Structure 1
Amino acid sequence: MEKTELHIEWERRIEDYESSGYTQATWCSINKVNVNQLKYWIRKIKGPKRNRSTKSKFTPVVVTEPPANESMEIKIGQASVGIRPGFDPAFLADIVRTLKTLC
């Protein structure tokens, strides 16, 4: 069975999406593609998620102890968050999760 031009085009788009580093939503917005179409073609071409080998993307983290009574800065992508002694760890975790989805 030969691949149709549409199938070949979606293989190219999926390769472009995967190499972009963007989230599906961001890539689709930039490329004016419906995110549900992208998801459909990924499943059609690559099969169910559980059968695919996935590449994990890790962000290197360096943990250092800040001097007492001083603030620290956390950078995620182009964003930075200032942290002072007595901060709320749960609130910081929410901020980090939000920034990770945007970067």
Structure 2
Amino acid sequence: MSRAELRKEWELRIDKFRASGQTQSKWCADNNVKLHQLKYWLKKIENTNRISAPSPKWVSITMNEQDAESKNTSLSLQINIGQASIEVKPGFDPSFLADVVRTLRSLC
């Protein structure tokens, strides 16, 4: 049996296992499959699917100066860390914000 055929066979087995609702041990016993083989193929197929997943797409946003100036007074960013909430507005001090975030993380 070729590698591609073997993989296809295991993909079908894994689909049947997942649809069964059984534990790995029970399914393996009922289907005459070794538990370590099922675990191996579950991991192998999961890792392959993770690698072949499409990468995220980024969208660029452009804003003209007139829009930026008119909205500049209402722009803010809300940051929640645990129960704390921080509102950041244009002109903030990045190093001060970093210190505050670090402190809040250490408390959570």
Asked if Structure 1 and Structure 2 have the same fold, meaning a TM-score greater than 0.5 normalized by the shorter chain, the answer is: no
Larger Rg: 2
Task: Identify, as 1 or 2, the structure richer in helix.
Answer: 2
RCO comparison, higher one (Cα < 8 Å, 6+): 1
